[in-house]
Each structure stands twice: as structure tokens, then as C-alpha cells.
């Protein structure tokens, strides 16, 4: 599985694709409630890493820890780097890669014809590689108060059961 599992950073990258500076994109994401006052967990990739650990357990029954993963966020991205990639037929996305053996998180170049390159704003998406049906990409909301509230409510209900 490979996917965009942090809507906050995806929003920031989308804004940088539109020429907005990293700092301004971060400020916008914070103003919209996508980022905490300390955005480190998101922009350094640790929020996505935690989700990758959960995916690894759910998909492959593997119990990973943070110290077993390579994690690198989006702090090094700039609108100029993103524009240069676009000129070569790519864009950037913060991607979690989860395999039966390992998981990692990093800002990666994605071909413009790949489904994940078109996922913009505070949206999440994941591509599952299947044996019989090829790649399947699922796309949905990834950041915001309603989405976070629903996730918390679902977790509380699951704990109660």
C-alpha cells in the first residue's frame, strides 16, 4: 500500500504547487484547523508514520515501531522544487509506503499520470496493489474538525464495545 495519509501536509503541498511559500502554506493550514500550534508531527512525517504502523498491523499483521521506520517530512520542499518537478512531469506528495516487510514515510516525486498526483487539498488517498485487480486507489477527506471528530467518536465507540 502506498498513500497520502496526512491531509494537512497534502494541503500545504497543494498550496506550494500554486506558488505559495512553505511558511504561508503552513500558516493557512493552521488557520483552517488542519495543523496544531506545533505542526512538527505533521510536517516531519510522524503523524503519517503512526498511521503507517496501524496500516502495517491491519494489512500484514506486522507490529512495527517508529525506530524501525525511515521517516522524513516536507520541511525541505519549496514551491521552486515542486515547480521544477512539474516541468519534468512529476509532483510531490508525502507518501507512506507499507509492505509486508517494512514501512516508511517521505516526500516523493509522483508521476503526473498517477492517481495520487491528482489528490489535492486536505484529502487523503491510498493505492492498494492487488493480485487480481491491479492497483486500486481510494480517496477521501483527510483533515479538518469534522473528520477528526468523527474518527475520535468512532474510536470511543469501538473502545466501549
Indicate if 51 belongs to the active site: yes
**pLDDT for 142:** 77
| Residues 159, 62: Cα–Cα separation, whole Å | 22
Dig out the grid coordinates for 46 from the structure.
510522524
Q: Is the pLDDT of residue 146 over 80?
A: no
Residue 154 has pLDDT above 70, yes or no: no
Which has more confidence, 152 or 34? Answer: 34
pLDDT tier at 160, thresholds 50, 70, 90: low
Residue 39 confidence class, pLDDT cut points 50, 70, 90:
very high
Burial 114-142 (b: 16+ CB within 10 A, else e): bebbebbebbbbbbeeeeeeeeeeebeeb
Whether 120 has a pLDDT exceeding 70, the answer reads: yes
Q: Is-contact 14 20, C-beta < 8 A?
A: no
- pLDDT of 109 > 90? The answer is yes
pLDDT bracket for residue 36 (50, 70, 90):
confident
- For residues 16, 28, 9, 80, the Cα torsion angle rounded to the nearest 10 degrees is 20
Local confidence band at 55 (pLDDT 50, 70, 90 cut-offs): very high
Arithmetic mean of pLDDT, 24-38: 94
The residue whose grid cell reads 494537512 is: 8
Per the DSSP assignment, residues forming a β-bridge with 4 are 125
Q: What is the mean pLDDT of the chain?
A: 92
From the centroid of its chain, how far is CA 83? Answer: 20
Q: What is the mean pLDDT of residues 86-92?
A: 98
**The C-alpha cell of 109 is what?**
516525486
Single out the catalytic residue among 22, 51, 56, 103. Answer: 51
- What are phi and psi for residue 33, nearest 5 degrees? 85, 15
Amino acid at each position: 500500500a502506498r498513500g497520502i495519509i496526512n491531509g494537512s501536509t497534502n494541503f500545504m503541498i497543494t498550496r506550494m504547487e500554486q506558488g505559495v511559500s512553505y511558511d504561508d502554506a503552513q500558516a493557512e493550514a493552521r488557520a483552517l484547523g488542519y495543523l496544531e500550534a506545533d505542526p512538527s508531527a505533521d510536517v516531519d512525517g510522524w503523524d503519517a508514520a503512526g498511521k503507517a504502523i496501524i496500516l502495517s498491523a491491519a494489512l500484514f499483521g506486522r507490529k512495527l515501531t517508529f525506530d524501525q521506520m525511515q521517516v522524513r517530512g516536507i520541511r525541505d520542499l519549496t514551491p521552486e522544487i515542486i515547480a521544477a518537478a512539474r516541468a519534468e512531469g512529476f509532483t510531490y506528495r508525502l507518501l507512506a509506503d507499507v509492505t509486508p516487510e517494512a514501512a516508511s514515510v517521505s516526500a516523493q516525486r509522483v508521476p503526473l499520470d498517477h492517481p495520487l498526483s491528482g489528490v489535492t487539498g486536505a484529502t487523503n488517498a491510498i493505492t492498494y496493489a492487488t493480485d487480481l485487480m491491479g492497483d486500486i486507489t481510494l480517496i477521501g477527506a483527510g483533515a479538518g474538525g469534522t473528520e477528526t471528530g468523527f474518527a475520535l467518536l468512532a474510536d470511543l465507540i469501538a473502545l466501549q464495545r
